[in-house]
């Protein structure tokens, strides 16, 4: 299994829809995870961190399923401005400082 | 507070030419990173500096060198550019190397012909 896998999409949803993405990881020792957002031709920006208890920030909810080794990002009431690529990041374990970025899931929100 | 800045924004090189990409952060972060991003690939770490005075190889260091000039600045050098180094290069910083809450610069789009 690859270290981090994401469905590249695109996920094409209407405004107001609820959409969820998953990110599977192989390193069972990882304790924390991150979601970044990347707009077209821009730099990635940190969206949320994900720990065992999950995280919620407004319309965004991130969850961790440690047993099945995936993290999820749920976006409620999608806005046009949510259109972007969402990257998950899995930190390393064992003393390395090299994180693994997923290839990203593309979201397109249309009117 | 500019965050992370990078220069240049765009660059075209011929094979064999050299250049240095500059990065600076004004957030007093200890750790800095250089990534490359290619179509269909995730971000890949080239080199990082966990703290001022240290640098370490990432996943794809071949063909690159780095210098942590001071706490603010971290440069990436291509000594002899190759077409395979055509990519978008991002610099990032974080408070500590153990924190993966990283702040990215706007990127440098490099084309090697």
User: Which residues of chain A does B98 touch, with a Cβ-Cβ cutoff of 8 Å?
Assistant: 97
Output the pLDDT for position B6: 98
Other Cβ atoms closer than 10 A to B58: 20
Q: How far is B80 from chain A (nearest CA, A)?
A: 25
Closest CA to B43 of B113, B112, B110, B107: B107
Closest CA to A92 of A3, A30, A21: A30
DSSP codes of every residue in A42-86: S-EEEEEEE-TT-EEETTEEEEEETTTTEEEEEE-S--GGG-EEE
- Percentage, residues of chain B above pLDDT 90: 89
**Residues B53-100 pLDDT 10s:** 999 999 999 999 999 999 999 999 999 999 999 999 999 999 988 788
Is B48 in contact with A99 (Cβ distance < 8 A)?
Answer: no
> Strands B4-7 and B19-25: what pairing?
antiparallel
Phi-psi region of B2 (alpha: psi -120 to 50; beta: other; left: phi over 0): alpha
Is B43 in contact with A4 (Cβ distance < 8 A)?
Answer: no
**Residues A45-95 pLDDT 10s:** 999 998 887 899 999 999 999 889 999 999 999 999 999 999 999 888 777
User: Taking chain B, what is the end-to-end CA distance rounded to the nearest angstrom?
Assistant: 36
Please tell me the distance from the alpha carbon of residue A34 to that of residue B102, in angstroms, as a whole number: 10
Mean pLDDT in residue range B5-30: 97
Longest Cα–Cα distance in chain B: 38
């Amino acid at each position: 299994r690859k270290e981090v896998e994401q469905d590249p999409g695109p996920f094409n949803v209407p405004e107001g829809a609820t959409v969820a993405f998953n990110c599977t990881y192989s390193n069972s020792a990882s304790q924390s995870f991150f979601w970044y957002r990347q707009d077209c031709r821009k730099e990635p920006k940190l969206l949320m961190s994900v720990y065992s208890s999950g995280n919620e920030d407004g319309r965004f909810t991130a969850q961790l399923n440690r047993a099945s080794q995936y993290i999820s990002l749920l976006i409620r009431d999608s806005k046009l401005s949510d259109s972007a690529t969402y990257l998950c990041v899995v930190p390393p374990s064992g003393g390395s400082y090299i994180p693994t970025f997923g290839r990203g899931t593309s979201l397109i929100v249309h009117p | 507070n500019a965050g992370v800045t990078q220069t240049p924004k765009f660059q075209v090189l011929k094979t064999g030419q050299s250049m240095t990409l500059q990065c600076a952060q004004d957030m007093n972060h200890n750790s800095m990173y250089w990534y490359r991003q290619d179509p269909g690939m995730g971000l890949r770490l080239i080199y990082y500096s966990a703290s001022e005075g240290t640098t370490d190889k990432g996943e794809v260091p071949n063909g690159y060198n780095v210098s942590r000039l001071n706490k603010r600045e971290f440069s990436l050098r291509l000594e002899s550019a190759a077409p395979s180094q055509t990519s978008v290069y991002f610099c990032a910083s974080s408070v500590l190397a153990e924190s993966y809450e990283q702040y990215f610069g706007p990127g440098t789009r490099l084309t090697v012909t």
